[in-house]
Structure 1
Amino acid sequence: MAKSHSCKICFKENLTKDEIGATRKLIDKDAKEFFCIDCLADYLGCTVDELLEKIEEFKEEGCTLFK
């Protein structure tokens, strides 16, 4: 069974593979603590929609962090 991760800021439980992948892609490839999409957008100073758009771009490029 896969380990459940929670947000290091708001403690939201059961982060998605996109939230984990985005933290690894944009913050630290070897991250052990992760952000939910809302906290990551706030941390990066962008909107959730901008972040979701960027995640889709990474997926289309074939980034393996989102698989």
Structure 2
Amino acid sequence: MIDLLGRAGKLNEAEKLVDAMPFDPGSIGWAALLGACRTHGNVELGVKAAFSLNLTMLLHI
């Protein structure tokens, strides 16, 4: 769902979905959001997604 919203350019909705999840979206969810931010040029949200992706990967190793 995060990827679908991101591809449609609905980055704010994708961010709200990630924030509302009762569990960690994991590296796949953060990577999907980061890719959408890159495609649509949203640097601010991209930084948040990159930080969260990095943190998720560090904690799961």
Q: Given the two structures, how large is their TM-score scaled by the length of structure 1?
A: 0.31
More helix per residue: 1 or 2? Answer: 2
